[in-house]
Amino acid sequence: MPVKLQTFRPTLLSGQVYMREYGAQAPRIPVGNVSLLDLATTEEKKTLVDHTKPGGGTWAAIPRVSGVALKAKLHDLDPVNLARVLYGEVIEQIAGTVADEPVVAYQGGLIRLAHPNPSGLSVAWGGSAWAASTDYALGAVLVVGGRRYSCTTAGASGASAPTWPTTTGETVTDGAAVWTDVGAWVPAPNVDYEVRKEGLFVLGGVIADQDPLLLGYSYGVYSVVEALVGSSKVWEVSFGGLNEANGESPVVVDVYRWQAGAAKSLGLLGGDFAGVEIEGEVLKDVTKTGSGTSPYFRVQMV
């Protein structure tokens, strides 16, 4: 059939990119907003110098395509796309609650929690409770009934708990040990700590450095991308485009096998919308056979 000639075809494309693992029995999934999709060939040339006369020159030359690369810039950095560009795996975490997550506090610092975006967070003392006939070192700390007590005389505790004082500076003898009341220990939000999306930030107040804490909170559904736990995958890539400069005529491109590399950079902060570039080699698909059939990619134009 004769080829329809259109000598005037200015090209400005927009469209959707789809991907799936090569050979997967699954649909091609849209990857969202892509600002760059570029196919580039590299070529090497075999030349034969003319040796028949002085001055040289080229007797013959044969150009050979040595490779085809595909580069893409993705802007929708959802968990699936991040996993694609970081050799990662996506884990979907269901909502839940944590009763007593043990942490150590430091004033002016962040405590990272096991789960993000906590709600209904409670802070409790996480140190050991008072115990009978136990050796306590100087400076040991207990919290009893919402008050903090410091061991100001080291020694073994008594057989039964003492009557704990409730006035700051008051002392109590406990067997050979002596405890001093150093004040109330009832951490208050936005006074002693802040609840942040990434964890608990200790402001100070009644929470001292190296205080053991037990945190309780709830969390919602979220996704986890574990980066660099896999290896490079081979993808099938399809592009469904419209040529805005040619009456929105369709342009469809199929790349049969693309081995994408990991992202060389992942911009987390900046003055513009985030984007991540990935590139890799277009590999031969040996299942594509027949005269005039490309084993690499094809372009369909309406």
**Helix H or strand E encompassing 80:** helix 79-85
Express each pLDDT in 82-110 by its tens digit. 999 999 999 999 999 999 999 999 999 99
Q: State the pLDDT at residue 3.
A: 62
Provide the token pair at 42.
């590299």
Backbone angles phi, psi at 82, to 5 degrees: -60, -40
Nearest one of 267, 301, 273, 281 to 237, comparing CA atoms: 281
Domain count, the chain: 2
For residue 163, the SS3 value is: coil
Backbone angles phi, psi at 85, to 5 degrees: -90, -5
Low-confidence stretches of the chain (pLDDT < 70) are 1-6
Express each pLDDT in 43-96 by its tens digit. 999 999 999 999 889 999 999 988 999 999 999 999 999 999 999 999 999 999
Provide the token pair at 175.
């067997």
Q: State the pLDDT at residue 270.
A: 87
How far from the centroid of its chain's Cα atoms is residue 230's Cα? 14
Which of 164, 195, 220 represents a domain boundary (last residue)? 220
Q: State the pLDDT at residue 8.
A: 83
Q: State the pLDDT at residue 264.
A: 86
Same domain, 197 and 137: yes
177 located within any domain: yes
Same domain, 29 and 49: yes
Cross-strand bridge partners of residue 177: 174
Same domain, 246 and 196: no
Q: State the pLDDT at residue 275.
A: 93
Range of the domain at 234: 13-90+230-301
Q: State the pLDDT at residue 223.
A: 98
Instruction: Characterize the bridge pairing of strands 249-260 and 147-153.
Output: unpaired
Same domain, 137 and 241: no
Backbone angles phi, psi at 116, to 5 degrees: -85, 170
